[in-house]
Amino acid sequence: MDLSVLEQVLSYTFRNKKLLKTALTHPSMGGEHNQRLEFLGDAVLEMCVSEKIYEMHPEMKEGAMTRLRQKLVREGRLARVAREMELGKFLLMDRGCETGGGRENPSVLCDAFEAVLAAVYLDGGMEPARQMVMHFIGDCTETDEVDAKSALQEYLQGRKYPLPEYLVVGEEGLPHERVFTVSVRLEGNEIASGTGTSKKRAEQNAAAAALQKIKGLGEKA
């Protein structure tokens, strides 16, 4: 398995490759696996997200901070992030787990993401772990997670249009500070574009801009 591909996705090169391999080893393999790393990664993730929420929302009370953190680190969100990273294809698991859909299982993907985060933390310290969280989870400034892509798809389908297409048209910045530009297109024509610190966020921003533009045109018609 060529883990250098995953290191490129992470924008982090491990000094201790064994840590990364352990983080990717499902318990079904027996021996040394990723459950202990998952335990540590869960704590590192909460610390990074809590720190950013504290910094970005000085007006927020403790209860609201806790609810926002729960939303940002819930299993479904982490599993989606892991899918975007294509983390499942790097996992080591036995055939029974694999044929049972283990590589797409939300719980398995969530645990693997946290285990990889712990591996980054142990290998490089808190700063690269923090950069990984901010890159893949977001900057924690959104108090409500709006799925603009789903909203745009539903709006178009309701009017008998085909599904929109998303294309990365730009990427700039340092490895740990990437900014992506995504174009959203309908029948080959660009409707709008958006930028973000991850492809997912750029797609969401592009979809939001497209939805606003399309609705604006509809109101003028």
98 is catalytic: no
Q: By C-alpha distance, which of 1, 29, 35 is closest to 119? A: 35
Contacts of 119 (CB under 8 A, 6+ apart): 14, 19, 20, 22, 23, 37, 41
Q: Which of 111, 114, 123, 203 is catalytic?
A: 114
Q: List residues bridging with 171 in a β-sheet.
A: 180
Q: List residues bridging with 193 in a β-sheet.
A: 183
CA dist 43 and 41 (Å) reads 5
Q: Where are the domains of the chain?
A: 4-137, 148-220
123 is catalytic: no
CATH code of the domain occupying 148-220: 3.30.160.20
User: How crowded is residue 58: how many other Cβ atoms within 10 Å of its Cβ?
Assistant: 6
Q: Which of 38, 42, 111, 203 is catalytic?
A: 42
pTM of the model: 0.66
What is the predicted pLDDT for the residue at 142? 53
What is the predicted pLDDT for the residue at 143? 42
Q: What is the pLDDT along the chain (221 residues), one digit of tens a residue?
A: 678 999 999 999 999 999 999 999 999 998 899 999 999 999 999 999 999 889 888 888 898 889 889 888 988 889 888 988 889 999 999 999 888 888 889 999 999 999 999 999 999 999 999 999 988 887 665 544 456 887 888 888 888 889 899 999 999 887 666 788 999 999 999 999 999 877 878 888 899 899 888 877 655 44
What is the predicted pLDDT for the residue at 221? 45
Q: Which CATH superfamily is domain 4-137 in?
A: Ribonuclease III domain (1.10.1520.10)
